[in-house]
Amino acid sequence: MGIGKAGLKKSGEPDILVILLPQSCNASFLFTSNHFKSASVLYSEKVLAETDRIRAMVINSGNANCGVGQEGIMHAEMMAREVAKHLDIDHKEVLVFSTGVIGKPLPIEDVLKGITSACKILEPLDLKRASQVISTTDRFPKYDFVKKGKLEVFGFAKGAGMIHPNMATMLSFVFTNADIDSLTLTELHKEITEKTFNSITVDACTSTNDSFGLISLGVLKEDMQNIRQAIGEVSLNLAKKIVEDGEGATKIIKVIVKNASLSIKAKAIAEKVATSNLVKTAIFGKDPNWGRIVAAAGSTPFPIDQFKMKVYIGNHLVYDGKAHPKATEGAKKYLEENKEIEIIIDLREGKENWIYYSSDLTYDYVRINSEYTT
Amino acid sequence: MGIGKAGLKKSGEPDILVILLPQSCNASFLFTSNHFKSASVLYSEKVLAETDRIRAMVINSGNANCGVGQEGIMHAEMMAREVAKHLDIDHKEVLVFSTGVIGKPLPIEDVLKGITSACKILEPLDLKRASQVISTTDRFPKYDFVKKGKLEVFGFAKGAGMIHPNMATMLSFVFTNADIDSLTLTELHKEITEKTFNSITVDACTSTNDSFGLISLGVLKEDMQNIRQAIGEVSLNLAKKIVEDGEGATKIIKVIVKNASLSIKAKAIAEKVATSNLVKTAIFGKDPNWGRIVAAAGSTPFPIDQFKMKVYIGNHLVYDGKAHPKATEGAKKYLEENKEIEIIIDLREGKENWIYYSSDLTYDYVRINSEYTT
């Protein structure tokens, strides 16, 4: 990796990261479902429409290269070409990512200079440092590493707000030394994303720039089940770190919907509870307010049976077809004493489960998002 | 109307309202789409499955009669029968509504006593007083009246958040002296609800008890267009009062999506912008942050053309296929100086428009919803 400065961060810290892979690698990328996409996302999508093998990536933080008209796409291409020129590789195998403020044109001369210096000194990948360079409002770097026998999976990410399914101002890159063919990689990537980055929320707002890449370095033949597990583990850990760093968050909320008739129903209900402002403020207030939980659970298109379902806060059964007032005190104590809060909704109608991660809604969330000025 | 006390409000104020109509009237009712419904809603839905003519309504505030098991449905029926007994009418033409805390069984003896005293002295309908009796955390009563020639439309409502901390609900009742047949009334009701009560948001949380009734007193033959307009006006005014009273709100946000290809697309985009926590905190912070507006607009299933669309804050063009930095200062001043804020998103692709009303997200919203304790 190479690190450079384009002066995009007010702190003056490095804001350009170049990652050179050892050779062209099979890679699968998923981007934001937002229709208002960053020009860098539009450019990288175009690159990936032509190839599923990539050689390098360039990431700038401090500027989203978004909402700046067609010029932004030109800037992204200039960034890819600059990397290719210095590293003597094909620019059609270089992806571009950006994160930061929306609506300000990139100071492209400075960015190209930053890329030039980043390409001059290439060091081995340092996950922590890589996360720091691409971070914006993050309070801590996000990276994870799993080694099982010879199998290695490692990744780094950034993100602290605008985090919602279908991803949000979240960048995440996961690598494995396992050799995975392109089609399998794509399927595996989608499957893992659903259970990890598409099952977290901070403020239910999707961003213009989210990207999650999975890259196979292609050197190790390994059992698929092991690969799936290791990549799933690293991806979930990165996703949870983003929730933990949610803007203003004091608690992580783990919403578990159990025994639903359909997997999509379990997910829809878990998502609704995890994104409910009323649930999120109640958890912040350490209030075992199951009324808000059941009201959120009931507000998806899927019917629920209110006389059959159960709700637990931690292991306190607070609702069982009707209120359990005696459990309230224990649940309140649980909320006061724990940082990771489990809410379990047992629909008692089938066998499908889903887990969704969220953070609480606090004064600091309002402060961070109302005092920020464009 | 008759007013009684069942001791459901901590303030000790009246909490039982009985409305007796002059005769059996055509009526259309729409209830919450939440699958976790109040027992009173379940009971009234059952009544309306058998008849579309009603003679009386009984409403209690201070207790939602929700999340209390099958017992709640029995309590609702007891309330209807008590009203019918005292007023000598058919209990199958009496509807029951409740609003307040979720999960506490109704003290049914006290409620029946309150109904008894309410039925003893019947006075003419006083809209303001009626709104006060059914209110919970409302800061002001909500009622409206339109008279055009001989046509009269009047209504009252309560609500200060689509759902309050365990205090569910929006209740709204609109009456007209116009004679409208049952089928027309139902269609008209749906149409008007879409543009009024289904186009407002405070916290994107639906409640367990929401109900909106439209009642034709059946004494005046009148042109349908006039009726539609007058009912639409009263309904919109009641809906806007609820937004104005939104928990912690300092501003009303009017999101206008213009020139969309489809009406449902215009509504989906308007709703997404109106419910975005990031947009709502930006408006609270008087920050003309159009990046958050376009990111919200892009996060529906409907594609948008970011290089063609325009965004106005008030009459300040802040985005026109790319940023208009010069408009930012004017837009900021507009946000500082006005209480009702217009956000206009012009998609420039068709002819369909939609308006959605919202409130800002403030410290007080978090305070109200996190400091409340069950």
Cβ <8 Å between B374 and A205? no
Pick the closest to residue A158 from A145, A142, A178 (CA basis): A142
- Burial degree of A174 (CB within 10 A; 0-12, 13-18, 19+): buried
Position A167 scores a pLDDT of 37
Measured between CB atoms, does B297 come within 8 Å of chain A?
yes
Position B132 scores a pLDDT of 97
Measured between CB atoms, does A336 come within 8 Å of chain B?
no
Same domain for A286 and A231?
Answer: no
Measured between CB atoms, does A358 come within 8 Å of chain B?
no
Distance from CA of B208 to the nearest CA of A (A): 6
Position A263 scores a pLDDT of 95
Give the tens place of pLDDT for each residue, A299-320: 898 999 999 999 999 999 999 9
- Model confidence at A168, pLDDT cuts 50, 70, 90, reads very low
Position B165 scores a pLDDT of 40
- Model confidence at A169, pLDDT cuts 50, 70, 90, reads low
Distance from CA of A317 to the nearest CA of B (A): 14
CA A234 and chain centroid, separation = 12
Same domain for B318 and B174?
Answer: no
Residues whose CB is less than 8 angstroms from the CB of residue B364 and which lie 6 or more positions away in sequence, other chains included? B247, B248
Same domain for B238 and B103?
Answer: yes
Using alpha carbons, list the distances in angstroms from residue B309 to B332, B342, B348: 21, 17, 6
Q: B 157-176 residues with CB below 8 A of A?
A: 163, 165-166, 168
Q: Which residue out of B136, B169, B193, B196 is catalytically annotated?
A: B169
Give the tens place of pLDDT for each residue, A318-352: 999 999 888 999 999 999 999 999 999 999 999 99
Contact B32, B209 (CB under 8 A): yes
Same domain for B15 and B161?
Answer: yes
Of A37-46, A287-296, B157-166, which range is least confident? B157-166
B275-292 burial, b at 16+ Cβ within 10 Å, e below that, comes to bbbbbbbbbbbbbbbbbb
Tokens of A21: 């892979």
**CATH number of the structural domain spanning residue B158:** 3.60.70.12
Same domain for B125 and B259?
Answer: no
- Cα–Cα distance for residue pair B284/B362, rounded to 1 Å: 6
- Look at residue B246 and give its three-state secondary structure: coil
Residues whose CB is less than 8 angstroms from the CB of residue A283 and which lie 6 or more positions away in sequence, other chains included? A251, A253, A335, A341, A360
Q: Where are the beta strands (DSSP E) in chain B?
A: 2-4, 16-31, 53-63, 94-101, 142-148, 151-158, 163-164, 167-168, 171-178, 211-220, 252-260, 310-313, 316-320, 340-346, 352-359
Same domain for A123 and A196?
Answer: yes
Asked whether the predicted pLDDT for residue A105 surpasses 50, the reply is yes
Phi, psi of B244 (to 5 degrees): -60, -30
Q: B 227-256 residues with CB below 8 A of A?
A: none
- Model confidence at A162, pLDDT cuts 50, 70, 90, reads low
Pick the closest to residue A113 from A226, A16, A215, A178 (CA basis): A16
Strand order in the sheet with B316-320: B316-320, B310-313, B340-346, B252-260, B352-359
Same domain for A237 and A260?
Answer: no
Instruction: Name the residue range of residue B128's domain.
Output: 2-244
Domain boundary among A187, A210, A244: A244
Half-sphere exposure of B66 (CA within 13 A, CB side): 36
Cβ <8 Å between A366 and B104? no
Distance from CA of A283 to the nearest CA of B (A): 7
Measured between CB atoms, does A296 come within 8 Å of chain B?
yes
Same domain for B113 and B218?
Answer: yes
Give average pLDDT by consecutive 10-residue segment, chain B, 374 residues. Answer: 96 96 96 91 97 96 93 98 98 96 93 98 97 92 96 94 55 97 96 90 75 95 96 95 86 96 96 90 92 91 95 96 91 96 98 94 82 58
Does A169 qualify as catalytic in the annotation? Answer: yes
Measured between CB atoms, does A261 come within 8 Å of chain B?
no
Tokens of B345: 């998103």
**Among residues of chain A, what percentage have pLDDT more than 90?**
79
Measured between CB atoms, does B336 come within 8 Å of chain A?
no
Position A367 scores a pLDDT of 82
Position B166 scores a pLDDT of 47
**CATH number of the structural domain spanning residue B360:** 3.10.20.340
Domain boundary among B206, B227, B244: B244
Measured between CB atoms, does B330 come within 8 Å of chain A?
no
Same domain for B183 and B145?
Answer: yes
pTM: 0.84
Same domain for A224 and A278?
Answer: no
Domain boundary among B244, B274, B297: B244
Q: How confident is the model over A53-75, as a mean pLDDT?
A: 95
Residue of chain A minimizing CA distance to B370: A285
Using alpha carbons, list the distances in angstroms from residue B304 to A71, A275, B19, B279: 18, 24, 48, 18
- Cα–Cα distance for residue pair A205/A66, rounded to 1 Å: 16
- Model confidence at A374, pLDDT cuts 50, 70, 90, reads very low
Same domain for A110 and A35?
Answer: yes
ipTM above 0.90, yes or no: no
Pick the closest to residue A126 from A244, A19, A14, A16 (CA basis): A19
Cβ <8 Å between B102 and A205? no
Number of domains in chain A: 2
Of B278, B285, B367, the CB nearest to A162: B278
Position A249 scores a pLDDT of 86
Same domain for A214 and A67?
Answer: yes
